[in-house]
Amino acid sequence: MANETPTSTFAPGGRHRHRRTRQPGTAARRAVVLAMTVPVASAALAGTSAFAAGKDTTATAARGVATAGQANGLSADDAQLVANLDARVLDQRLGTNVSGVVLDGDSKDALWGRNATTAMMPASNAKLATSTAALTVLGPEHRFTTKVVYGHGTLTLVGGGDRTLTSDDLAELAKTAVAGLKAAGLTSVKVAVDDSLFAEPSLAEGWNEGYYPTEVAPVRALVVDGHSVEDTSLDAGKVFAERLTAAGVTVDGDVTRATAHRRDVPVARHRSAPLSDIVKTMLKTSDNNIAETLLRATAVKAGRPATFEGGTEVVRQVLSHRYGVSLENFEMYDGSGLSRADRIPAATLAQILELPTDPRHAHTLGAILEGLPVAGEAGATLGPEWGRFDDPNSQCAVGKVRAKTGTLTGAVALSGLTRTEDGEWRVFSFIENGSTAAPGDIKDAMDGLAATVNGCWA
């Protein structure tokens, strides 16, 4: 978190001098997506031939594309952007199943698109939808509460869906509980855990048991230190019991699972950091467990079952009814994007990403922009340790691109924002499915597309 770029550096909401009146509803969004076919069609043939030609022919073709683009209302720079993307999206490393879109961040016009509404496996780009729903339903200031209550000789640790709870937090809860016990003259106690806030863990459609617990832990309302174990609740209860013992109270028997009674006496509580901070952490590190926990917490707040189905239902309602995002060809079965059944078009991801650039939504959704990894930022998924933006064609975009990564076997995605040299904002989304190239090569090609959108790879 210490390496994050300040919000003001990447806040498109602060530069909307060219913003046009926005049309609400899905129909208007579809019109924007369909509008992209005009400049793309005019440049496609010239762009393709330029990709295969020598330097002189390339320059001539580019000038031809620029002229055609200007005839369709594009500036010379945007026409060149279209030509470059038309050429570079044919990179063999990306395979033949590639989808993409580029939007003008101020006017919301579509500048370029290729199979933009095609259903694609989004991988972790699905976390953008999860974040949008969580921040909208719960609110950016929401804090998750973990409680300790006492009744009938038992201290019960009650999970509130805080995936960031630490053993130090449990130590503080234990310290407070022990003080109360000793004041009451008690020196021994039983310990139980209550994780009933969420439904029993299950596999999402498109998941297999091999995901547990390395890729994602079974989703429960109680966990400590992000432990990847089969039963995170009992694990947290054992850590809590150890802290009680260390503080001088005897714990009788094993930790059990129970449901706290409403007449139990409140003993201690811990509140998490604001949801906005948790979302930033989740996006920067692409944390699957936080994403799945947020999906269930969102469902609970909306009055739906705390399940994959309940959570994704709320996501769809928020995107469609609250923000007018198109759900055409949209299928979502989990919160993390691990599901191989998930399908989200690039156009939809771009629409989701442009929401926080609107001043009306900046307060609620601003954490999404702040949480997007920055090209070259150590400690995030676009950092050098992941081999991102270190290719000669994309190195120029270090520090200039914010984007959410996505990687599964057979799927690589990159969706984000960047600002061109003349101060214009661009929202983009690129997804490939099925490329047989090495993952590192695919990511290099993706990074090159982002550098192209920025304009530094001209």
Q: Which domains does the chain have, with CATH numbers?
A: 7-35+89-133+281-454 (3.40.710.10), 145-272 (3.50.80.20)
Residue with tokens 């989200």: 344
Give the separation between CA 106 and CA 427, rounded to whole angstroms: 9
Share of the chain above pLDDT 70, in %: 84
**pLDDT of amino acid 356:** 94
Q: What's residue 235's pLDDT?
A: 98
Please choose, from the candidates 293, 350, 344, 352, the residue with its C-alpha nearest in 3D space to the C-alpha of residue 318: 352
pLDDT(399) > 80? yes
Residue 249 has pLDDT above 60, yes or no: yes
- Mean pLDDT calculated for residue range 283-287: 97
What is the distance between the alpha carbons of residues 406 and 137, in angstroms, rounded to a whole number?
Answer: 24
Query: Is the CB of residue 298 less than 8 Å from the CB of residue 308?
Result: no
Q: Give 424 or 8, the one with higher predicted confidence.
A: 424
Give yes or no for a contact between 106 and 334, defined as CB atoms under 8 angstroms apart.
Answer: no
pLDDT at 47 over 70: no
pLDDT at res. 208: 87
d(CA 341, CA 121): 7
pLDDT at res. 72:
61
The answer, yes or no, to whether residue 406 has pLDDT greater than 50, is yes
Longest CA span, the chain: 90
- Ramachandran angles phi, psi of 450, nearest 5°: -65, -40
Q: Confidence band (pLDDT; 50, 70, 90) for 48?
A: very low
The confidence score (pLDDT) of residue 175 equals 96
- What are the φ/ψ torsions at residue 353 (nearest 5 degrees)? -70, -25
* Predicted pLDDT at 107: 80
Cβ atoms of residues 410 and 433 within 8 Å: yes
pLDDT at 398: 97
Say if residue 392's pLDDT is above 50: yes
Q: Is 80 exceeded by the pLDDT of residue 20?
A: no
Report pLDDT digits (tens) over 289-340: 999 999 999 999 999 999 999 999 999 999 999 999 999 999 999 999 999 9
> Given phi > 0 = left and psi -120 to 50 = alpha, else beta, which region is 337?
left
Model pLDDT, residue 51: 22
Distance CA 208, CA 373 (A): 28
User: Residue 422: pLDDT band by 50, 70, 90 thresholds?
Assistant: confident
pLDDT band at 13 (very low <50, low <70, confident <90, very high): very low
**pLDDT reading at 276 higher than 50:** yes
In this model, does residue 434 exceed pLDDT 50? yes
Query: What are the tens digits of pLDDT across the range 204-213?
Result: 999 988 999 9
Q: What percent of the chain has pLDDT above 90?
A: 79
pLDDT confidence of residue 30: 38
Indicate if the pLDDT at residue 379 is higher than 80: yes
Assess whether pLDDT exceeds 50 at residue 53. Answer: no
Mean pLDDT over all residues of the chain?
A: 86
Residue 386 confidence (pLDDT): 95
Residue 309 CA neighbour count, 13 Å, CB half: 6
Average pLDDT of 408-415? 97
Average of per-residue pLDDT across 410-433: 94
Contact 206, 334 (CB under 8 A): yes
